[in-house]
Amino acid sequence: MAPERRRAKREQYRIQAVRDLTKGIPREGEFVSSLKFALRSVLGALTVSRGAIVTFNEWDVEYLVARGFTIDEKKLALRGHLQNYFTGRNTSFSLLNSRIKADVREYFTSLTPKAEEVVFVSPIKSGRTFFGFIMLGMKINGEHPARRDLELLNVMTHYLAAEVHSRRVIVDVAGLNMSLSAKVKENVKLISSLRSVYFQTIRALAAAIDAKDPYTRGHSERVAMISREIAKTMSLKEDSVNAIYMASILHDIGKIATEEKILAKKGTLTGLEKSRVKNHPKVSYKILSKVKFPDPNIALFALYHHEWVNGEGYPYGIQGEEIPLGARIIALADAFDAMVADRPYRRGKNLRESVKEIVECSGTQFDPKVTCAFLEVLKSEVEDGMRRPVITPIIRNGDVGKQDLPYIKKSLGRVRRISRL
Amino acid sequence: MARKLELETSEKGDVTVLYVNGYLNSLVGETLEDSVNGSVSNGRLKLVINFGKTKMINSVGISIVIGIVDAVAEKGGILAFTNLSRINRELFDITGVSDLVKIFETEEDALAAISAVT
Asked if A33 is an interface residue toward chain B (Cβ–Cβ < 8 A), one would say yes
Does residue A76 sit in helix, strand or coil? coil
Residues of B in contact with A49 (CB under 8 A): 66-67, 69-70
Residues of chain B under the 70 pLDDT cut: 1-3
Task: Find out whether B15 and B47 touch, Cβ atoms under 8 Å.
Answer: yes
> Could you give the CA distance from residue B115 to residue A167 in angstroms, rounded to a whole number?
51
CB atoms within 10 A of CB A338: 16
Return the half-sphere exposure (C-beta side, CA atoms, 13 A cut-off) of residue A157.
30
> Could you give the CA distance from residue B25 to residue B59 in angstroms, rounded to a whole number?
7
CB atoms within 10 A of CB B12: 13
B5 CA to chain A: closest CA distance, Å? 16
Which residue in chain B is spatially nearest to A143 when comparing CA positions? B96
Task: Find out whether B18 and B8 touch, Cβ atoms under 8 Å.
Answer: yes
Per-residue pLDDT at A190 = 53
> Could you give the CA distance from residue A375 to residue A148 in angstroms, rounded to a whole number?
38
> Could you give the CA distance from residue A313 to residue A367 in angstroms, rounded to a whole number?
13
Asked if A28 is an interface residue toward chain B (Cβ–Cβ < 8 A), one would say yes
Facing residues of A130 across strands?
Answer: A125
Cβ-defined contact of B60 to A9 (cutoff 8 Å): no
Q: Which amino acid is at A47?
A: T
Residues of A in contact with B60 (CB under 8 A): 20, 24, 37, 40-41, 44
Per-residue pLDDT at A214 = 60
Per-residue pLDDT at B1 = 46
In this complex, the residue of B1, B60, B66 whose CB is nearest that of residue A47 is: B66
Residues of A in contact with B91 (CB under 8 A): 13
Residue A222: which residues within 8 A CB-CB, separation 6 or more?
A333, A337, A390, A394
Cβ-defined contact of A47 to B26 (cutoff 8 Å): no
Residues of B in contact with A40 (CB under 8 A): 27, 59-60, 63-64
> Could you give the CA distance from residue A198 to residue A188 in angstroms, rounded to a whole number?
16
Give the A window 51-70 contacts with B, CB below 8 Å. Answer: 67-68
Strands A120-126 and A129-136: antiparallel
Per-residue pLDDT at A67 = 93
Strands B54-57 and A129-136: unpaired
Residues of A in contact with B59 (CB under 8 A): 13, 16-17, 20-21, 40-41, 44-45
Asked if A144 is an interface residue toward chain B (Cβ–Cβ < 8 A), one would say no
Asked if A134 is an interface residue toward chain B (Cβ–Cβ < 8 A), one would say no
Per-residue pLDDT at A73 = 87
Which residue in chain B is spatially nearest to A36 when comparing CA positions? B27
Helix axes A180-212, A3-24, angle to 10 degrees: 170
Size of chain A, expressed as the number of residues it contains: 421
A129 CA to chain B: closest CA distance, Å? 28
Cβ-defined contact of A44 to B96 (cutoff 8 Å): no
Does residue A57 sit in helix, strand or coil? strand
Facing residues of B10 across strands?
Answer: B17
Task: Find out whether A34 and A163 touch, Cβ atoms under 8 Å.
Answer: yes
Residue A366: which residues within 8 A CB-CB, separation 6 or more?
A308, A309, A328, A331, A332, A335, A358
A208 CA to chain B: closest CA distance, Å? 20
CA torsion angle for A48, A152, A8, A263 (degrees, to 10)? -130
Q: Counting Cβ atoms within 10 Å, is residue A59 exposed (0-12), middle (13-18) or buried (19+)?
A: middle
Q: Counting Cβ atoms within 10 Å, is residue A264 exposed (0-12), middle (13-18) or buried (19+)?
A: exposed
> Could you give the CA distance from residue A117 to residue A67 in angstroms, rounded to a whole number?
13
For chain B, the residues whose C-beta falls within 8 A of a C-beta of chain A are 1-2, 25-27, 58-64, 66-67, 69-70, 90-91, 93-97, 99-100
pTM: 0.66
Asked if A89 is an interface residue toward chain B (Cβ–Cβ < 8 A), one would say no
Residue A101: which residues within 8 A CB-CB, separation 6 or more?
A85
Task: Find out whether A301 and A244 touch, Cβ atoms under 8 Å.
Answer: yes
> Could you give the CA distance from residue A196 to residue A159 in angstroms, rounded to a whole number?
10
Residues of A in contact with B96 (CB under 8 A): 47, 139-141
Which residue in chain A is spatially nearest to B30 when comparing CA positions? A40
Residues of A in contact with B97 (CB under 8 A): 47, 140
Residues of B in contact with A43 (CB under 8 A): 63, 66-67
Cβ-defined contact of A21 to B59 (cutoff 8 Å): yes
A44 CA to chain B: closest CA distance, Å? 4
Query: Which helix (H) or strand (E) covers residue A326, if one does?
Result: helix A325-340
Residues of A in contact with B90 (CB under 8 A): 1, 9
> Could you give the CA distance from residue A282 to residue A303 in angstroms, rounded to a whole number?
6
Asked if A34 is an interface residue toward chain B (Cβ–Cβ < 8 A), one would say no
The contacts found for A201-204 with CB under 8 angstroms, 24 or more apart, are A201/A18, A201/A22, A201/A155, A201/A158, A201/A159, A202/A246, A202/A249, A202/A250, A203/A249, A204/A151, A204/A154, A204/A155, A204/A158
pLDDT of chain A, 421 residues: tens digit per residue: 788 888 888 888 888 888 888 777 765 567 888 899 999 999 999 999 999 999 998 888 999 999 989 998 889 988 888 888 998 898 999 999 989 999 999 999 999 888 778 999 999 987 778 999 999 999 999 999 998 899 889 989 988 887 887 777 656 545 444 454 455 455 555 555 555 556 666 666 666 666 666 666 678 889 999 999 999 999 999 889 989 998 998 898 887 767 667 777 777 888 888 888 888 899 888 877 776 666 779 989 999 999 999 999 999 999 999 999 999 999 999 999 999 998 878 899 999 999 999 999 999 999 999 999 999 999 999 987 666 899 998 998 888 888 999 999 999 999 998 877 6
Per-residue pLDDT at A184 = 46
Closest CA to A223 of A237, A236, A207: A207
B47-73 pLDDT, tens digit per residue, is 999 999 999 999 999 999 999 999 999
CB atoms within 10 A of CB A98: 7
Which residue in chain B is spatially nearest to A41 when comparing CA positions? B60
Cis status of the peptide bond prior to A315, with omega within 30 of 0: yes
Instruction: Determine the straight-line distance between the first and last CA of chain A, rounded to whole angstroms.
Output: 50
> Could you give the CA distance from residue A212 to residue A252 in angstroms, rounded to a whole number?
11
